[in-house]
Structure 1
């Protein structure tokens, strides 16, 4: 029997990177059953229960190997999340090489797929004579910025980093981006820091791969996709050496956990159509205690129904990204809040079945941290959004959905306290849930939902892009 064509995937640590790669792998083998995927997972600690749930339910054509755990003591203290993820992959390279050696000896291994922060693994593709690809867990617009950063870095002054009152334009951006809304490694650190330099090196590597797999679709980010393709043509005098494959929207079709599912869905069943605001900050986002209180009081002020996923507050916005939380999040809500909103809303601790909630007829709005997977889920289900970015490239995503796509509204931060005050929370809820602006946003996002379904249909643009990628991989006969 002929061996299946095998692809190795290397996500960086974190559920928000693992899940899109898993979902892409499922889509690939569904459309092209002659493929086999092995996911090689660098880790900074033992797998979380959520990670185990995902890996335990993989279909037979997708294997996974959790690489030996990197010792936290081997990493510098108090480093940024992006640096931590990148260094975890870097320290895992010896074990990754061993895994690839084993894999290539027993399979028809043709390609290595990394995401942006596992790019240190990319040179291994040459060692094993493989095709190399980036899988972008972010949108095409933020990736277009990454592709432009080396040029921006060369021709701009240090004001590009430190003056957050300025704006920057780059090919494919649609609207100017405020400097303060650029990815964390660019804004939070100066050019002389290792964090910024490491991010710049990651961006430079984008032009070194054979292709980039984009979790987006042409009708959503056509300008950004075309700008990246044009960038490659200019670099190579008209013959691109890096190909872009917009294969999305690739999202979960069902939630990975049943925690709070029956409670949430039963409650939604008793609410009017489009009446509920769903509030969730993703798999790792957290708020300060003061901000948690302001949201609670703002929800009360708005008078609108809501379903809120609450986490234990923390001043570090990404504090739940790697580490589980043991306290009861509901203990941190304002005194008497749960009693006062009994008829208005439902509050659940830590987790809700986001896919099912967004797809429910009663859900009429989505307050999101603007992680790209959550943005795509909001678009696919046709739900207008409140953009509340926390870290990473989420502010860029917020600018895209508010300023370019116009399917979201972003609250104003109080300059003195650094918080979104309760009155502002109530205001943006009303913008999304009632009135003419709400209707316009809903029509636009519902139109994008239709286009997303069309892209993923049998003859849709994303299905064709996936077929083009599959054809390229199948044509690799071991001499890539």
Structure 2
């Protein structure tokens, strides 16, 4: 007998980039589909205040249930220099007992378990409960195809991916240039590569995949995942559900902060917004070139500044100093920059209300690291981009935005390979704000925004896909 109300548990690995889409998906399942949803959020000792604020916001303003689970201490298991993917996967594996205890102690056990791709090992709990298990991919369908196909490529490719002359062929999909592969694929002799391959295999063992995209955005990759004989066999003929765009909605508010008040005073479509996401940092040298490039462009800007890291073109995830110091951004920006740009620019330390900024009429473009959450927020706000990828799958996203969707410009050389000079920064910013190319991209991104709104509306493609997911879940537990 089917339950009166389907209860879905979703496991979220640490980090706002994973947690935010999980919370938004859970909230959509509750508010639009009348499901009961419990999010199990793994929290580390260095979890940022932004994550706690996010959790508090959702538990206060929604009917979503959230359980905070302290992450296991992995200091004696993983080397301090281990990469993020390795640390996350080991942390989630070692936290399984706490996740299990939380689920088993619920007043009623969930009927379905969803886990993000770093939390695959929690599926053992679903098997213990005898309930279906699903993977939630918070990236694109193109990334999903590359990810799932990676174990096959591992057997075909000789040497390092980045040394290849030919693009990587993904059956039914746009090929992937060697320089665009995701970070864990860069060094095959690194332990992270093995962790990544294990993740890819685990994902195909789920009863299906939920992907944060929509039909009109990625028709080719979605068709390949569902219908290409080779790729479909790789994912074990499991269903693929589009549930996107899942991005933080813009919610107008009477209360305004400093950034919005500053934007209110600027002309329509005149400001470039610069942010590298919740964890991205750039080198001191690159920060200087970006700074002088913004100044040379003579365009208005809002720049979310975090401490730099490394030298040259080095970029990283969660490196650098503390986000706030005694001098704030002045401590790592060249002397005089703030004074010289006081009439045209606003520098914000560490964090800014991104959806509110992107939806402001004075914003013309977004210089972004191309994280999938930021990418979707920009598209759903109708804002074209300067694609500046740093880590993870962002190079893949940048290529899609610039070459396929044509809603972004990007540097001639990847920022991870070479410092982007001030002249090129100035040229891209000016082109986006004042140029004909910027206007053309604005038209294209507005069409994508409309498509996105249709997808999540009632009877839209993603709404229907979620309904099919619920129907399939019910059929498995009757």
- Rounded to whole Å, the distance in 2 between the matches of 1:356 and 1:443 is 21
Q: 2: CA distance between counterparts of 1:308 and 1:180? A: 28
C-alpha displacement of 1:287: 1.1
CA distance in structure 1 between the aligned counterparts of 2:231 and 2:377, rounded to whole angstroms: 34
The match for 1:203 is 200
Per the normalisation by structure 1, the TM-score is 0.91
Contact 1:365 1:385 in 2 (8 A): yes
Aligned pairs for 1:126-205 within 5 A: 126-159=127-160, 161-163=161-163, 166-174=166-174, 176-187=175-186, 189-190=187-188, 192-205=189-202
Match of 2:242 among 242, 246, 249: 246
Inter-partner Cα distance in structure 2 for 1:163 and 1:145: 18
Among candidates 275, 282, 291, match of residue 286 of structure 2: 291
**Does the CA contact (< 8 Å) of 2:43 and 2:68 recur in 1?**
yes
More displaced, 307-316 or 447-456? 307-316
- Which stretches in structure 1 are left out of the alignment for 5+ residues? none
1:302 maps to which residue?
A: 297
For the pair 1:373 / 2:400, whether they are aligned, the reply is: no
Q: Distance in 2 between matches of 1:414 and 1:143?
A: 22
Per the TM alignment, residue 317 of structure 1 is displaced from its structure 2 partner at its CA by 3.5
* Paired position in structure 1 for 2:257: 262
- 1:228 is aligned, of 225, 228, 236, to 225
Alignment-derived partner of residue 343 in structure 2: 343
Task: Select between 239-248 and 15-24 the one with higher mean Cα deviation.
Answer: 239-248
Q: How far apart are the structure 1 equivalents of 2:271 and 2:288?
A: 20
Render the CA deviation track for 1:427-462: whole Å, top value 9, x for unaligned: 111221222211221111111111111111212111
Distance 1:366 1:73 in 2: 38
Q: Which residue of 1 aligns with 2:431?
A: 431
Out of 220-229 and 405-414, give the one that drifted further: 405-414
- Give the C-alpha shift of residue 313 in structure 1: 1.2
Pairwise CA distance, 1:325: 2.7
Matching residue of 1:320 = 318
Moved more, 38-47 or 263-272: 38-47
Asked whether the equivalents of residues 29 and 61 of structure 1 are also in contact (C-alpha less than 8 Å), the reply is: yes
Cα gap change, 1:146 to 1:257, in 2 (>3 Å): farther
Query: How many residue pairs get matched?
Result: 468
Alignment of 1:53-132 (within 5 A): 53-58=53-58, 59=61, 61-74=63-76, 75-103=78-106, 106-132=107-133
> Can you list the C-alpha shifts for 1:340-383, whole angstroms capped at 9, x where unaligned?
11111111111111001100111110000000011011111111
Whether the aligned pair in 1 keeps the contact of 2:309 and 2:319 (CA below 8 Å) is no
Distance across 2 between alignment mates of 1:303 and 1:111: 54
Task: State the 1:169 CA deviation.
Answer: 2.7
* CA 368–325 in structure 1, closer or farther in 2 if over 3 Å, else same: same
**CA deviation after TM superposition for structure 1 residue 397, in Å:** 0.6
Pairwise CA distance, 1:236: 5.5
Q: CA contact under 8 A between 1:13 and 1:88: conserved in structure 2?
A: no
What SS is found at the alignment partner of 2:365? strand
Q: Note if contact 2:226-2:232 (Cα within 8 Å) is conserved in structure 1.
A: no
Deviation at 1:62, TM superposition (A): 1.7
> How far apart, in 1, do the equivalents of 2:162 and 2:317 lie?
25
Shift of 1:231: 4.3
Q: Distance in 2 between matches of 1:451 and 1:179?
A: 31
CA contact (8 A) 1:53 1:257 kept: no
CA 1:342–1:165: 2 relative to 1, 3 Å: farther
Moved more, 44-53 or 136-145: 44-53
User: Within 2, Cα distance between the matches of 1:322 and 1:16?
Assistant: 19
Mapping for residues 27-66 of structure 1, pairs under 5 Å:
27-33=28-34, 35-45=35-45, 47-58=47-58, 59=61, 61-66=63-68
Cα distance in 2 for partners of 1:195, 1:414 equals 22
Other structure's SS at 1:38 match: strand
C-alpha spacing 1:65/1:402, structure 2 compared with 1 (3 Å): same
Contact 1:185 1:196 in 2 (8 A): yes
Higher mean displacement: 321-330 or 13-22: 321-330
After superposition, the Cα gap between the structure-2 partners of 1:162 and 1:278, relative to the gap in structure 1 and judged at 3 Å, is: closer
Deviation at residue 47 of structure 1 after TM alignment: 3.9
Secondary structure, counterpart of 1:213 in structure 2 = strand
Secondary structure, aligned partner of 2:347: strand
Distance in 2 of aligned mates of 1:172 and 1:338: 50
Mapped contact 2:252–2:356 kept (Cα < 8 A): no
Is contact 1:110–1:476 with CA below 8 Å preserved after alignment?
no
Asked if structure 2 preserves the Cα contact closer than 8 Å seen for 1:43 and 1:67, the reply is: yes
SS at match of 2:158: coil
Q: Is the 8 A contact 2:329 2:347 kept in 1?
A: no
TM-score using structure 2 length? 0.91
